[in-house]
Structure formats: structure tokens, C-alpha cells
Amino acid sequence: MDKLKGTVHKYGKDNIDTDVILPGPYLKIHDHAELATHAMEGLDPGFPKKVSQGDFLLTGANFGCGSSREHAPIALSSAGITAVLAPSFARIFYRNAVDGGYLLPIEIERSAVEKISDKNTLEIDVDKNAILNVTTGESFVMKQFPSLIKKIIECGGILHYKP
């Protein structure tokens, strides 16, 4: 896979839930571009304007807990986010992100979350499970994707994956 490079937007708290990522009143919306304008509205209404295409979200543990709304990874991805880095993810958010081909849910150690700052530039090499903080020169290890997940990611989502 090609390396990813982008700017970090850090929201370090644990348990950022889907009601915060994409609040309930917008569940009736299914247009991806419109959902993007409400990404992270429960935490930071200015978020969509801060993000450029290819940026990363860095958060605490259990990111995406709560409802199964696929609107959450769609909103983030349509706002420009290509990877979320966190110590752990809620399972449905993780599945949605991978199977829908929206963004990469990358698990990293909590200590790595603490060492990476807002607005740092990262380079992510999924094939080598390596993350380089271009701003500080520090490098980190990401948890390897299980083989099925990696294959689905390489297919761009579950649509083109053949069991």
C-alpha cells in the first residue's frame, strides 16, 4: 500500500462516541458531502473547516463507541480524514471504517498518542506497521492489521472482496 502523509488533529479523550462524531438529528441525512459539514460537531463544530484532504484524527481509547451509524466514518472520511489513530476502537465503528473503505482505523499504544501533538505531520507505512512523526523525528509502531482486514482494505472495502 502507498504511504499516507497528513496533519494530525488531536482530541485526546477516551470514549468519543458516535453521538459526538455525528449527532442524532443528522441521521436522516445520507448525502456524504452534507454529512461532512457536521463531522465531530458534538465536540468541535469548527472541525470540518480545520481538516484538509488526507489528514489524520488522533484520539483516546474506544473511539466510535455507541451506535452503529455508518454516518460517523462517512462524515469523517468525507471531511478529508484518511486514518484515525487510537489505542482502541469500538467494534462496529472499526468494521464500518474498513468494510465501507472510508478510512483506516489504526491502533497505536496510548504512550504514542501522548507523544504526538496536534498539528504534527505523520507518515504512515501500513505495510511496515510504522508511523513516523515527520515534525519531531520520532517513530512509532502501529498494530498490524489482521490478514482478512488487510485484504479488505486493499480491495477498497468489502464490496470487491471475494471470500
Partner 1 sequence: MTSTEKIIARASSMPSVAPDDVVFVKVDKLMVHDVSGPGVIKVFEEWAKKGVHLERIWNPDKVWVSEDHFVPAADKISANNIMKLTNWTKKFGIKRHYKYGLGQYGICHTLSHEEGLVLPGEVYVGGDSHTNTTGGLGAFAIGLGHTDIAYSLMHGQIWIKVPETLLFNLEGQLPPHVMAKDIILKIIGDIGTDGANYRAMQFSGETTKQLIMDERLTLTNMTTEAGAKNGIIDADSITGSYLRDRTHEPFSALKGDLDASYAEKLTYEIDRLEPTVAKPYSPGNISPARELQGTEIDKAYIGSCTGAKLHDLRAAGKIMKGKKVKVRTEVVPAAQSIYLNAMNEGLIGIFLESGAVVGPPTCGACCGAHMGVLAKNEVCISTTNRNFPGRMGDVESKTYLASPLVVAASALTGMITDPRDI
User: How many whole angstroms separate alpha carbon 75 and alpha carbon 30?
Assistant: 10
Stretch that binds partner 1, among 27-35, 50-58, 116-124, 135-143 (CB under 8 A): 27-35
Handedness of CA 2, 76, 142, 64 (dihedral sign): negative
Q: How does DSSP classify residue 31?
A: -
In the complex with partner 1, the residue whose CB is nearer, 132 or 158, is 158
Closest among 121, 106, 119 to 153, alpha carbons compared: 106
* Smallest separation, CB 113 to partner 1 (Å): 15
Closest among 80, 7, 4, 5 to 39, alpha carbons compared: 80
Stretch that binds partner 1, among 2-10, 85-93, 118-126, 134-142 (CB under 8 A): 85-93
Q: For residues 135-154, which are near partner 1 according to CB under 8 A?
A: 146, 148
Contact residues for partner 1 (CB under 8 A)? Answer: 15, 17, 19-20, 23-25, 27-30, 42, 61-62, 65-71, 88, 90-92, 95-96, 99-100, 146, 148, 157-159, 163
